[in-house]
Homo-oligomer: A and B are copies of this chain.
């Protein structure tokens, strides 16, 4: 049992947090706008293609693809629907598990990744790696690992995937 955390952030923590929010939002917007212009798709969809392009046989089970893109099953299903419509991905059923589906990158899909990746990477370098010192890059990696780790542990603790609240009206 740990101590109750102080209620508010200190001024400097507040500044840090605001800066982080600003940076991640601007980064997301910038990368999304570029990908939309160049490939007419959001970064999230590009990342799905990129993951497939690196996988064995350029294919992955929906389950694993969802995990590796930090995506919910539902979100991935919708995204793959779209990519399939555009002929960039195909769906096959899983040989060893009849519940499973496998997403396979098509040749057209591979071409999109090949065309988009260099431009995307250039931009990431430009606004991230080029503006950070080597030390800062190392720090960013470690910081990210810690935060991601905390969140993943947290999901497990809360049993997110098996939560079963009582039925209730949905209000937004």
- Interface, chain A (partner B; CB < 8 A): 5-9, 12-13, 15-17, 19-30, 36, 40-41, 47, 70, 118, 121-122, 124-132, 136-152, 154-155, 171-172
* B147 and A142 contacting across the interface, CB-CB below 8 Å: no
The complex is assembled from copies of this chain, and their number is 2
* A5 and B144 contacting across the interface, CB-CB below 8 Å: no
Given known A-B contacts A7-B118, A40-B171, A70-B26, A127 and B151 have beta carbons under 8 A apart: yes
* B146 and A131 contacting across the interface, CB-CB below 8 Å: yes
* A15 and B147 contacting across the interface, CB-CB below 8 Å: no
Report A168 CB to chain B, min CB distance, Å: 12
* Chain B contacts for A130, CB-based, 8 A: 5, 150
Given known A-B contacts A7-B121, A40-B171, A171-B40, A25 and B70 have beta carbons under 8 A apart: yes
* B143 and A26 contacting across the interface, CB-CB below 8 Å: no
* A144 and B9 contacting across the interface, CB-CB below 8 Å: no
* A150 and B129 contacting across the interface, CB-CB below 8 Å: no
Given known A-B contacts A15-B141, A140-B16, A23 and B124 have beta carbons under 8 A apart: no
| A26, A40, A41: most-surrounded residue (chain B CB, <10 A) | A26
A-B contact pairs, 23 of them (CB 8 A): A5-B122, A5-B125, A6-B125, A9-B125, A15-B141, A20-B141, A22-B144, A22-B148, A23-B148, A25-B70, A26-B151, A26-B152, A27-B147, A27-B151, A30-B154, A40-B171, A41-B172, A127-B150, A131-B147, A132-B146, A136-B142, A139-B140, A140-B140
* Chain B contacts for A27, CB-based, 8 A: 147, 151
* A30 and B144 contacting across the interface, CB-CB below 8 Å: no
* Chain B contacts for A171, CB-based, 8 A: 40
